[in-house]
Structure 1
Amino acid sequence: MLAAVKAMREAGFVEGTDEFVKELLPDSRIRYTVTLGEEEEQNEEEEEDDEGDGDEEKIRLKPWLDPTALARALEDWDPREVAELEAANLVWTPRLVCKLLRAFRKAESAWEFFCWVAYQPGGFAHDRYTVARMIAILARAGHAELVDRLLSKVKSEQILLPFATLRLIVDFYGLSKKADAAIRIFQEADSICGPISKPNRLLLCSSLLRTLAKCKRGHDAMELLEEMMLQNVLPDIQTFSGLMQYFAGVGDLKSVHKLFGMVRQCGLEPDTYMYMVLIRAYCKQERAVLALRLFDEMRRSDLLPDGPTKALLVKSLWKEGKLREAASVEERCEDVETGLPRASPGHVWTVSATDFKRVFDIYSRCFEGGAG
């Protein structure tokens, strides 16, 4: 990569590579490194012998260290290993620090390194990217107090974090089951990353709804959803489907039905996946008659359920003695939905059939272009 940048600059493309070089090589002590074969290295050594000390600009560095291997060696943050690291006199840059932080398996070790590197000689200072990386790691591990400490520090220094980091914090608090901490982050969003646009506000709300559902805080999720709608921040179909699936899983059909009404209120048209979530929810609660009404509505919209959903509806109608209705479902639904999945398991909130189709179309065009 660095060799390619060097070649571009030598060809005269200096202005276009300045920012890229600053990101890769933000310290003046780091020079370009070029990986050469054994024969090329031998030739260069012979040239250097002939020319003497050579030009300072031709200084060569040893191969770049592997951040992952270094992080693995420091996993337990043993004092002897830390002493060896100090003796190495590495040039610390934000990019290298971020790579090491990402490579640590333990959040505690990452935190030790994060604090240690800030006091190393050479003038290294954490920036918004290293802080953002550390905060995401701590949030995933559930260290809400340390996250708050770092956020307080960046606020006092008037550093704004990327919006993507803010959303990651809220999402990770869902994994670590820190619902209250996620709500607090949501309420302080503007002071963390600056004014948030309406589309980003919607994304952040969806992340918080998902986190509240993971933390089994359904009541708080419904309150947040109502507040969003009052502020004209309307969720998309995927968000509604994710909430419906959560409430269906806990047997709260009242909330499922209420959410379906909200979908209509927002002017959205239920898609195939939402209908299937509803049908399965009613069938599992032995309310096959209500599931049948949704099936009828689905067919009027020219939508088809998938095979498992149709089979569950037929089985539920049979169990409730609705033999004629079960036969009618079979007759009216000889075909079932096939092709791309309607949602990815575990990613109901974030990946839809539309996303799958977009990726499918991109790759299809590539193959068609290659065949031509």
Structure 2
Amino acid sequence: MYLKQLFQQSFSYSTLSRSSLTPSVSLNAISLYFQRSQLISSLKHALRSNAPLESLASLVNTPLLDSFVVSRALQYAPSADSALLLVKTLKNVPHFSHTRMTLKALGIVLAKFRRFPELQGLISSIRNKDFPDVSTKSIDMDEFLWYAVSGDVDTVLHVWDKIKGSRGRRCIEAYNILMGDHAKAGNNSEAVKVFYKMMEENAVPNSRTYTAMIEHLVSSGKLDSAIEVFCILPRMRIRRSSRMYAPLFKGLMDARRFEVVSDLKNEMQIDGVILPSRQCSNEEGEDEDEDDAELASKIRIEPEIISTLRDTNEGVSLEILSALDDTNVAWTSVLVCKTLLRMFDDYEEVDNIWAFYCWLGNKPGRFTHDAHTASTMLKIIAFWCSDKVPDWSYNWKKCRDTWCRYDLLDELITKIKEGGISLSYITLNYIIDRRRAKGAVRIFRHVEEICNPLSKFHLMILYSSLIRKLTQDIFCPLGALDMLEEMIFRGVLPDIPTFTGLMYYFSRKRDLLTVVKLFRMVQRNNLRPDAFMFQILIRAYLRCGKVDRAFKAFKDMRDSNFMPDSATKALLVNCLSKEGMSEEVAVVEAGSDEINHLPPLPLHAYIWNVSSFDLKRVYEIYYHSFRAATS
């Protein structure tokens, strides 16, 4: 009841919006951005100093106030009472109405300080649609997230059954949150079981899953186990993020293993990851008390300042850029990347973003593009091209040229070469995954010029992504097998997921001859077929009516200590039964459903990416790190 009264207010819409910033006044948006940053800082200090209601009322009574300012201020609230005081003050601001952003920030504050009655009041208000601008669609997941922030594992488990989607499945992020909550609570065995359940219920682990795993291992003193998991991830096509590097750096520094820190720094450069210098420095006593609001203003350009980079008729205005230059903004790699991405989020034409990128590049002594900014620009061009669907009613050549923008791509690659910039292979892999096959091949031909040094492993990953792309594009004249042949000719041996993906592609086309040929190639190169590869081989034989050979493949799979997933097993039993092979049916059904603590894994989402050997190894590391507790 208290929360409902607290939120009651007028929901008018006289707030100043971005759309009201016409070109004639858009120069004022630069100063507006800094005024809003100052407002956030003032609100933060007012909340931390327990300012009286009158002081807060004078601060919020401004047209600069919007949902972003409020949500940021709530994030800095030192207590639940200070956050609730701000909310109480806002009900007297006629032009302000709550959005999902502000309510989510408030819910996190209430959860963090374990104010469960007020939190439940907030949840009830949202469910009762007391906020016209806030959808109730994601309230179950928000409730789950809030209770996870509180660390109340029992309540999180109580909410667990409510977050199933329309198909009866939970999103992967729900598993990640639960796994992390168990880890923080010291429920080691339960965290391991969540990872197992994730695979058992066909939820494919992602980068955040392995981040939670690495954080859990490091915090439990299992540093070597965390490093081993970390080293396996590139083979699983999992991008290693700054959130993975940070706990490893901290753990290694605490253990004073500085030689490994140096190796980790090299890996970080290869992966194209930026970390704050204090997180990867060997020196002690560094200043970690930088003001949060000031830090936020360094790494984020707000929508108003982005709006200054537009001109309705001519793209980026030189007058606006000049005004922006006069502000003496200290451009950094992180700030530029955030600006470029924000412009892209606001659906700027790629020419406007490119003009801003070039303008920054012409500031010797003040800013120089590096691998991070060049990678961001390259990704934007690639994503913009892949996101545009050509209008087939227009001239195809003209449409293709507008759509693909090879001119920008070639010009950026030239700038990268001239600047001596070396990109991460991760960037090229991202672009290959998002361009059409012909464009992917085009940029792949530059890979050794703009990614240096490039190991055979990294080249193998790029070839694998390109081969996958070629199987998806029927219009590209270059075939997947042609690229495979080129790859092997260059002395780059495909890994198991690459062969598995190709076998899956040709089995779907009922090309059994090629499937078997690829399988024999794996054996000739002394590679061990994994569970996914055996399952594809069995299905390929069954599709072509070769039931006896499918059964032989099953026996080979079982002898290799693998079992098929339930769908493959049911298909094999059904086909054997139709052929009257009752003894063989008994053999298949007698097989164990679980081997070596790992469930039979389904094919979907693992093909082209993960070898069951690597997935099994990661699970074994995690399981054995907490074996006593898990047992």
Instruction: Give the TM-score normalised by structure 1.
Output: 0.71
Shift of the alpha carbon at 1:193?
A: 1.8
Does residue 248 of the first structure (1) align with residue 524 of the second (2)? no
1:279-298 counterparts in 2 under 5 A?
A: 279-298=538-557
Change (3 A) 1:240 1:73: farther
**Secondary structure in 2 matching 1:225:** helix
Shift of the alpha carbon at 1:161?
A: 2.1
**2:456 aligns to what?**
198
1:277-356 counterparts in 2 under 5 A?
A: 277-319=536-578, 322-323=579-580, 325-338=581-594, 339-340=598-599, 342=601, 345-356=604-615
Does residue 158 of the first structure (1) align with residue 425 of the second (2)? no
Q: Distance in 1 between matches of 2:452 and 2:279?
A: 23
Does the CA contact (< 8 Å) of 2:333 and 2:370 recur in 1? yes
Q: Distance in 1 between matches of 2:501 and 2:609?
A: 9
**1:221 aligns to what?**
480
**Secondary structure in 2 matching 1:65:** helix
Does residue 140 of the first structure (1) align with residue 383 of the second (2)? yes
Change (3 A) 1:271 1:32: closer
User: Of the candidates 594, 599, 620, which is equivalent to residue 361 of structure 1?
Assistant: 620
Shift of the alpha carbon at 1:75?
A: 7.9
User: Of the candidates 494, 508, 511, which is equivalent to residue 235 of structure 1?
Assistant: 494
Change (3 A) 1:184 1:62: closer
Shift of the alpha carbon at 1:306?
A: 2.4
Does the CA contact (< 8 Å) of 2:569 and 2:588 recur in 1? no
Does the CA contact (< 8 Å) of 1:75 and 1:109 recur in 2? no
Change (3 A) 1:273 1:112: same
Compare 356-365 and 83-92 and name the one that shifted more. 83-92
Change (3 A) 1:20 1:360: same
Structure 1 unmatched runs, 5+: 1-15, 25-30, 37-60
Change (3 A) 1:344 1:251: closer
Change (3 A) 1:23 1:304: closer
Shift of the alpha carbon at 1:107?
A: 6.6
Does the CA contact (< 8 Å) of 2:565 and 2:601 recur in 1? no
Shift of the alpha carbon at 1:351?
A: 2.1
Shift of the alpha carbon at 1:238?
A: 1.3
AA aligned to 2:420 is Q
Change (3 A) 1:365 1:314: closer
**Secondary structure in 2 matching 1:64:** helix
Does the CA contact (< 8 Å) of 1:160 and 1:192 recur in 2? yes
Q: Distance in 1 between matches of 2:556 and 2:354?
A: 56
Q: Deviation per CA, 1:92-132: give whole Å up to 9, x if none.
A: 21111112334433674566235225426973332222011
AA aligned to 1:260 is F
**Secondary structure in 1 matching 2:409:** helix
Q: Distance in 1 between matches of 2:624 and 2:429?
A: 33
**Secondary structure in 1 matching 2:345:** coil
User: Of the candidates 69, 79, 101, which is equivalent to residue 340 of structure 2?
Assistant: 101
Compare 286-295 and 197-206 and name the one that shifted more. 286-295
Does residue 172 of the first structure (1) align with residue 434 of the second (2)? yes
**1:47 aligns to what?**
none
Q: Distance in 1 between matches of 2:298 and 2:460?
A: 39
AA aligned to 1:79 is D
Q: Distance in 2 between matches of 1:363 and 1:23?
A: 25
AA aligned to 1:330 is A
Compare 109-118 and 301-310 and name the one that shifted more. 109-118
Shift of the alpha carbon at 1:165?
A: 1.9
Q: Distance in 2 between matches of 1:295 and 1:371?
A: 31
**1:35 aligns to what?**
291
Q: Distance in 2 between matches of 1:111 and 1:337?
A: 56
**Secondary structure in 1 matching 2:359:** coil
Does the CA contact (< 8 Å) of 2:310 and 2:352 recur in 1? no
Change (3 A) 1:157 1:129: same
* Identical-pair percentage: 33
1:73-152 counterparts in 2 under 5 A?
A: 74=306, 78-79=310-311, 83=320, 86=324, 89=327, 90-103=329-342, 104-105=344-345, 108-109=348-349, 112-116=352-356, 118-119=358-359, 123-142=366-385, 143=404, 145=406, 146-152=408-414
Does the CA contact (< 8 Å) of 1:76 and 1:109 recur in 2? no
Q: Distance in 1 between matches of 2:459 and 2:449?
A: 14
| Higher relative contact order, structure no. (Cα contacts within 8 Å, ≥ 6 residues apart) | 2
Q: Distance in 2 between matches of 1:188 and 1:110?
A: 22
AA aligned to 1:298 is M
Instruction: Give the TM-score normalised by structure 2.
Output: 0.44
**Secondary structure in 2 matching 1:283:** helix
Shift of the alpha carbon at 1:241?
A: 0.6
AA aligned to 2:457 is P
**1:208 aligns to what?**
466
Q: Deviation per CA, 1:258-290: give whole Å up to 9, x if none.
A: 211211221222222211111112223433233
Shift of the alpha carbon at 1:334?
A: 1.3
Does the CA contact (< 8 Å) of 2:350 and 2:384 recur in 1? no
Does the CA contact (< 8 Å) of 1:343 and 1:351 recur in 2? no
Q: Deviation per CA, 1:146-173: give whole Å up to 9, x if none.
A: 2222112222333332232222222222
Compare 197-206 and 235-244 and name the one that shifted more. 197-206
Change (3 A) 1:277 1:20: same
**2:218 aligns to what?**
none
Does the CA contact (< 8 Å) of 1:282 and 1:288 recur in 2? yes
Change (3 A) 1:232 1:113: closer
Shift of the alpha carbon at 1:361?
A: 3.5
AA aligned to 1:240 is F
User: Of the candidates 527, 552, 555, which is equivalent to residue 268 of structure 1?
Assistant: 527
